[in-house]
Amino acid sequence: MLRTASVRVLGGRDLAAAHTLLDSDPVGNVFVSSRLRAAGIEPGRLGAELWGFIENGRLTALCYAGANLVPVGAGPAAIKHFADHARWQGRRCSSIVGPVPAVRDLWERLEPYWGPARAVRARQPVLEATGPVPASDPLVRRVRLSELGILLPACVAMFTEEVGVPPDAGDGGALYRARVAELIRTGRAFARIEDGRVVFKAEIGAVTSDACQIQGVWVPPDLRGRGLSVPGMAAVVRRAQDEVAPRVTLYVNDYNTAARTTYARCGFSEVDTYMSVLF
């Protein structure tokens, strides 16, 4: 039988099929699923393109192409087509993120044209809160919009430490400030604030009705080792489970043993593995 395959930018008529594919793995696909549910599939509203891999007229894989390049449900044939499309379009993303086999294959095909990368995080365990949650810090709460000026420097410090470059270099920080403000407005920024200083913080980034993803977990370097992270994280996990989505997830660098220990003590266990390529 003759098999045909192609890649195209998806539109409104593809939304139901895209959701069906994303819903097959609500934890692994929470970021892309969250973006589609919040903004729709049309590139103008999404702020990105959603590429579809079409085999014999059927949508079998996706690739979110925005600030991040994120393959979804993509096997070797889809990755080859996505890589060809990305190479033709030219690099517009700041990272490639997703399941290890897909991202590794995609990067091997793109590295000769897009390389070298600034950093490659070859193994990032994806964790889900499935076990008992320890006692929570009662002082961890939702951040108020009036506290944006307190939270923002902590977010910048965390991002710079984690990614290696500041998030506010390109436009003076306007876009990043707006993103942090939006997390506060939607009730997804949590912190313990003492004397006008953040001593623990975390945000809930991607959200669907099935799952949510915690991000930006941070304690100031001079306060680490004082027992703030486990009860702080426990508070965020409990609020997320009770008020946001039933499945609470995150991903972490495999070499970050302190963070992994904290997450294990908060009931997280490994369910998948990501890889990230940073530009």
What percentage of residues in the chain have a pLDDT greater than 90? 94
Spatial distance between the Cα atoms of 204 and 248, rounded to a whole number of angstroms: 9
Reduced to 3 states (helix: H, G, I; strand: E, B; else coil), residue 35 is helix
Residue 227: which pLDDT band, with cuts at 50, 70 and 90? Answer: very high
CA 152 to chain centre: 19
- Which pLDDT tens digit goes with each residue over 13-67? 999 999 999 999 999 999 999 999 999 999 999 999 999 999 999 999 999 999 9
Mean pLDDT of 205-224: 97
Residue 40 — φ and ψ, nearest 5°? 85, -175
pLDDT at 240: 98
Is it the case that residue 1 has pLDDT exceeding 60?
A: no
Q: Note whether 263 and 215 are within 8 A (CB).
A: no
User: At 115, phi and psi to the nearest 5?
Assistant: -75, 175
Position 2 pLDDT exceeds 60 = no
Tell me: pLDDT of 230 over 90. Answer: yes
Average pLDDT over residues 219-237: 97
pLDDT tens digit sequence for 135-150? 999 999 999 999 999 9
Burial of 6 (0-12, 13-18, 19+ CB in 10 A): exposed
User: How does residue 168 score in pLDDT terms, banded at 50, 70 and 90?
Assistant: confident
The number of angstroms, rounded, from the C-alpha of 255 to the middle of its chain's C-alpha atoms is 18
Q: What confidence score (pLDDT) does residue 3 get?
A: 61
Euclidean distance between the first and final Cα of the chain, in Å? 41
Per-residue model confidence as pLDDT tens digits over 70-89: 999 999 999 999 999 999 99
Report pLDDT digits (tens) over 109-139.
Answer: 999 999 899 999 999 999 999 999 999 999 9
User: Mean pLDDT in the chain?
Assistant: 96
The two beta strands, 49-55 and 197-207, are unpaired
Give the pLDDT of residue 105.
98
Q: pTM here? A: 0.93
Query: What CA–CA distance (Å, rounded) separates 172 from 7?
Result: 36
